[in-house]
């Protein structure tokens, strides 16, 4: 093939390919998709949206957007066997960075080892407070006056890896667990695209448990 009269084609930087894993509604996935479409999250594309639950609304939403989707039912299957299928699928779609977006399933050690520091999760609490299920309800019933959400790398412990960013939400006197969860969710939708941008930039280092952004270059 010959180069054009004006010279060789310009170099197009490769986009980071995201693999989204979800089990339900998919509002965090949609927030990521929206940020990409609007250009506020640049340099990434969604390679595949994958669920462990048949009929997850997030999968229907992904199909409507024309994105590749896959479903691997996890119920009743050994974790290692299920995760091997998921890893094979992510490799087939050449995924660089995995985003758990309401994926209500623990990953096997093999899965985490296959993507070291390449798996993100969002959790609706200010970790390390309230890991696990119903985090917003836990924070409300505990009497917290500040709640929030956390985006973190996934390690072998539940809701535990290095924190990329957190956003806070005040607990109001007239809140109940549902109104609080709704306001936390609004912050999740801002936090996840921002955290992905930070990781994809590559301008950070991990010191112990700390995610340290590199100082912006002058000149
Ligand atoms: C979100 O609130 C997310 O933080 C939470 O599940 C919800 C999924 O909503 N994840 C966890 O609790 C993980 N420990 P979505 O399907 O609308 O994104």
Nearest atom of ligand 1 to the alpha carbon of 101: 18
User: Whose Cα sits closest to atom 8 in ligand 1?
Assistant: 102
- From ligand 1's centre to the CA of 110, what distance in Å? 23
Is the CATH number 3.40.50.170 carried by domain 13-116?
yes
Alpha carbon distance 75, 53 (integer Å): 8
- Do the Cβ atoms of 92 and 82 come closer than 8 Å? no
Contacts of 140 (CB under 8 A, 6+ apart): 147, 171, 175, 176, 177, 180
Please give the pLDDT value at position 217.
Answer: 67
pLDDT tens readout for residues 84-115: 999 999 999 999 999 999 999 999 999 999 99
Alpha carbon distance 210, 139 (integer Å): 24
pLDDT tens readout for residues 123-141: 999 999 999 999 999 999 9
Query: Is residue 10 very low, low, confident or very high in pLDDT (cuts 50, 70, 90)?
Result: confident
Ligand 1 mutation target, pool 102, 126, 180, 184, most atoms within 8 A of CB: 102
- Do the Cβ atoms of 78 and 3 come closer than 8 Å? no
Please name every residue paired with 167 in a beta bridge, in sequence order, or none if there are none: 149
Residue 1 has pLDDT above 50, yes or no: no
Which residues are near ligand 1 (CB < 6 Å)? 22, 24-28, 58, 101-102, 122-124, 135, 159, 185, 188
Q: How large is the average pLDDT for residues 26-34?
A: 98
Nearest atom of ligand 1 to the alpha carbon of 25: 16
- From ligand 1's centre to the CA of 175, what distance in Å? 20
Please give the pLDDT value at position 120.
Answer: 98
User: Whose Cα sits closest to atom 1 in ligand 1?
Assistant: 102
Residue 11 has pLDDT above 90, yes or no: no
Alpha carbon distance 160, 60 (integer Å): 30
Contacts of 13 (CB under 8 A, 6+ apart): 43
Catalytic positions, written as ranges: 123
Nearest atom of ligand 1 to the alpha carbon of 185: 2
Please name every residue paired with 120 in a beta bridge, in sequence order, or none if there are none: 99, 153
- From ligand 1's centre to the CA of 142, what distance in Å? 20
Query: Is residue 5 very low, low, confident or very high in pLDDT (cuts 50, 70, 90)?
Result: low
Residue 163 half-sphere exposure, CB side, CA atoms within 13 Å? Answer: 14
Please name every residue paired with 19 in a beta bridge, in sequence order, or none if there are none: 48, 98
pLDDT tens readout for residues 154-211: 999 999 999 999 999 999 999 999 999 999 999 999 999 999 999 999 999 999 999 9
- State both tokens at 69: 């989707």
Q: How large is the average pLDDT for residues 147-151?
A: 98
Alpha carbon distance 50, 48 (integer Å): 6
Query: Is residue 3 very low, low, confident or very high in pLDDT (cuts 50, 70, 90)?
Result: very low
Q: What counts of helices (H) and strands (E) characterise the chain?
A: 6, 9
Domain boundaries defined on the chain: 13-116, 122-187
Residues in the chain: 219
* Residue whose entry in the numeric block shows the structure tokens 């549902």: 178
Residue 55 has pLDDT above 70, yes or no: yes
Alpha carbon distance 168, 149 (integer Å): 7
Please give the pLDDT value at position 86.
Answer: 97
Alpha carbon distance 40, 34 (integer Å): 9
Alpha carbon distance 33, 158 (integer Å): 26
């Amino acid at each position: 093939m010959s180069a054009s009269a004006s010279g060789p084609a310009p170099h197009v930087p490769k986009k980071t390919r995201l693999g989204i894993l979800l089990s339900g509604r998919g509002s965090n996935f949609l927030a990521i998709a929206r940020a990409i479409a609007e250009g506020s999250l640049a340099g990434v594309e969604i390679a595949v949206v994958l669920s462990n639950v048949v009929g997850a609304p997030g999968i229907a939403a992904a199909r409507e957007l024309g994105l590749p989707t896959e479903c691997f039912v996890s119920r009743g299957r050994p974790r290692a066997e299920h995760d091997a299928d998921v890893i094979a699928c992510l490799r087939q779609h050449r995924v660089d960075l995995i985003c758990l977006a309401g994926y209500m399933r623990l990953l096997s050690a093999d899965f985490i080892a296959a993507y070291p520091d390449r798996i993100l999760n969002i959790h609706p609490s200010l970790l390390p407070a309230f890991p696990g299920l119903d985090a917003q309800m836990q924070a409300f019933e505990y009497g917290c006056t500040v709640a929030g959400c956390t985006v973190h790398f996934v390690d072998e412990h539940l809701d535990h890896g290095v924190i990329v960013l957190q956003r806070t939400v005040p607990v109001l006197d007239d809140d109940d667990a549902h109104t609080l969860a709704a306001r936390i969710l609004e912050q999740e939708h801002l936090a996840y695209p921002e955290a992905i941008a930070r990781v994809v930039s590559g301008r950070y280092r991990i010191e112990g448990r700390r995610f340290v952004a590199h100082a912006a270059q002058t000149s």
